[in-house]
Structure 1
Amino acid sequence: MSKLVQYIKESYDEMVHKVTWSKYSDLQNSSILVLVASLIFALFIGLIDLGFENLLKWYYNNL
């Protein structure tokens, strides 16, 4: 049990004194970048899916 308490104390000390936390503006910029990249990726995958769907419909209709 004492090892668990020591672990919690050391973890708390590290989080408070040794971890560098990003500024809120940096987090906003990163979040916007991730959102834009995710939307572009989703659009790209959606276009590929639409292309394959149309290709397969054309193929099966011409059998």
Structure 2
Amino acid sequence: MAGLVNYISESFNELKNHVTWTPWAEAQRLTLVVILFSVIFALAIWGIDTVFSNAIEYYFSLVKPEQVQV
């Protein structure tokens, strides 16, 4: 148990004193860039999926045999 407490203590010390953190303003700006890119990418994937879905639907409507009513 003492090893676990020592590990946590040393990890906290490392994060507090030896890690160079990104300034808050830059972190906010980069977060907005990631959000914007994610939304644009999701819309692009949705658009491509819609186009392919419609193309496949159209193809199957052409090759589907007509049903004969009896």
2: CA distance between counterparts of 1:62 and 1:6? Answer: 70
Q: Does 1:24 align with 2:24?
A: yes
CA distance in 1, matches of 2:5, 2:57: 63
- Aligned pairs for 1:31-50 (under 5 A) are 31-50=31-50
Q: How many residues align?
A: 63
| RMSD between aligned residues | 1.1
Identity across matched positions, percent: 38
Structure 2 unaligned blocks of 5 or more: 64-70
User: Would you tell me which structure has more helix in proportion to its own residues?
Assistant: 1
Match of 2:58 in 1: 58
Deviations 1:5-55 (Å, cap 9, x if unpaired)? 221221111111111221111111111110111111111101110111110
- TM-score, length of structure 1 as denominator length: 0.87
With the length of structure 2 as denominator, give the TM-score of the two structures: 0.79
Unaligned 5+ segments in structure 1 are none
4+ residue runs over 6 A deviation:
none
